[in-house]
Structure 1
Amino acid sequence: MPNNVEGLFRGAEPRRIAILGVTGSVGANTLDLVRRHPAAFQVEAVTAHNNVAGLAEAARAVGARFAAIGNPERYVELKEALAGTGIEAAAGASAVTEAAERPADWVMAAIVGAAGLEPSLAAIRRGATLALANKETLVCAGALMMAEVKRHGATVLPVDSEHNAIFQVIDFDHLDTVERVILTASGGPFRTFAKADLRAVTREQAVAHPNWSMGAKISVDSATMMNKGLEFIEAHHLFGLPPSRIEVLVHPQSIVHSLVAYRDGSVLAQLGTPDMRTPIAHTLAWPTRMHAPVQPLDLAAIGQLSFEAPDEDRFPALRLAREALQTAGAAPTILNAANEVAVGAFLEERIGFLDIAGIVEAALSELGVQPVTSIEDIGIVDAAARDAAGRRVERISA
């Protein structure tokens, strides 16, 4: 297939898109697909948090109309990097939100962490199609966010490989026929480690995912299995299923990305090589399909697929996430915020690997059960959880 794909969307005008978090792993893969199909897409806006050089390079490469850097102190640097291009430069959190408000039909939400909430809501509130790679927004504000989706007629397309797999095989018109959805997990780099051995694992070991190429924070979340816990909560909000109908299954090869079991005994699964360009391409071209330069799946060469139950004793983050969803209210917000603080401290080598789940559990216990009814409530709880987790980090690292 030629790179310059005319008529990808049945002869329509190029799809107008925005990429929030263009310098991260998901953003870079999105950029790769867009550059392979230049006639099919018009890039309205791109953003990054602190990487001015990467942002400017991306904006130039795709002829973006607007580029925003989250760190306001780097505005002058960005403006100079884009001098003479005609690309509008801006900086600060409000500028990132403005990027989501630009007239793009499709918005990739790939900002890591709770910082992605406001831009995601901005895109939703103008009825855009949101390709959601930021699971933390649904974790900390899922009910409120999905209510906004319904209110404004927006569309959310999951980018996480597991939820994208479910999206492709679930029967939305007959959800009552779905018995359960099954999220697969690679098990991370420490799947076979004894619990005692986990105390000594290093930052370098934790970010070395065996199958996927991801950013540092998400890689650590995969190693603790918090990533799967967050995805458990995300699945509840995306597909409207209770926790009792969501399961997690460890699948080390990362070939079966998720499964949907129906009441007649049928189990439908989506398979593919572990390459994020597949789910990104699915959302980028939805409701049609586009070419993605991924390695074809060769099941004969793989030879064997294996599955096992997750071990919540060695990896308690999965249990904490499930309990937070069942508790509801502020608990998922506390879980997410405390985890972000703890993972950051681990990456800075201030705490040990097993301390991450301990810090999250302590924050959940300290802050208790409380309701959240607005985005403002989410912000207050998020700040309190970060403070509680931060104090715990200080005690451990002192």
Structure 2
Amino acid sequence: MSRSSRPVLTVFFDGLKPEGLTSMPFLSSMPYRAPLRTLLGYSIACHASMYTGVYPDRHGLWFLWQRSPETSPFAWLRKVPLLSLVDSLPARLGVHKLTASRCPYTSYWGLPRIVNLPLRYWPEVDVSETRYWDEDGYVPGYPTVFERLRAAQVPYDTLGLHRGGSGPHGIEAVEHKPLPTIKPWTYLFVGEPDGLSHRYTQEGPQTKAMLRRLDQIVEARYREFESRVGEFDFIAYSDHGHIAIEDRINPYELFEQSADDLNRYMHLIDAGYLRLWFRTPEERSQAERVLANVPQGYILDEETMAREHVDPGEGRYGELIFYLNAGTIFSWTTFGYGRKQRSMHGYLPSHPESDGVFITNCSRPTEKVVQLVDILPTLLDRLGLPVPAGLDGQPVLA
């Protein structure tokens, strides 16, 4: 059977690291595997790169929240008088609920809840991802695998690809959704490993039990393909690993200890990053003095960001970006408090537990380490489609 006539079954596991395969005997039995190098950042950077074949410094999606006053859905707050006088957690939740109900975004997270950011800054922020991964125009100028297959009139099926995080409906779709015909490409989206790893670590018994179940579900789909089409290509991969949390830092207390107030700066806090904007050079100097006292992290410099193919986007992702070392998180973030988080990702790709996995029945990968940007060109190549020039990735299966 020629390559272009062989169906391709692809399984994406969110957050599965190589060590997690010890709970997945079927996947471990596949003849070929390689580590997959993740990106500096979170899932938004990973998904855009694996679906488009280019790095974040080109597609522009690095963090979820960005400074973008021109497009902020909270711009209406500028007309609210005495906003600081009514600022409270209930007010923030109410403002978010009202704004989200009118927001047209169709992306995976939509308009996420903001908890720890004064209301006066909300008209300055917007999300960078406004469309869902498989929608046309998800990343303007960089077509995704979904767009390319539609343009080439190649039929495909997706199972478990749903909005708003992992959940039983995702597993049930992957396990039970019927496939009346086997199309050239079938994509199974499995989000459960990431959420469970955050809460229990990937080594926790709850996570291991789910990994065993997922392994059985994938094996059942694999056997279904064997019985229905005979020969087919199988590719499973993940976007990043997971690292157990050993230390937590309260960013607000950090500034208080230096007789400063974080809330006087425009700021956004992710689990492992504090991103700041300044009105004056003096503000920046003061923030740098505060952060110099934090041994668990450092300010990202241009050399590091260039090496990791990320770009602050002319300041929209931060004029200063402070990075926490692997195993450390901020206990207060823009999203909430993270008290139940026991494992995290988003750290430097060079950390060994940051790796994802790449598994296949096709052939030994031509690269010792697969890159996320290799996913799109590899899929196109296995489907017998031309690989466009100008991508950052390349096919990794001979």
> TM-score under structure 2 normalisation?
0.24
Structure with bigger gyration radius: 2
Higher relative contact order (CA 8 A, sep 6+): 2
TM-score by length of 1: 0.24
**Structure with the largest fraction of helix:** 1
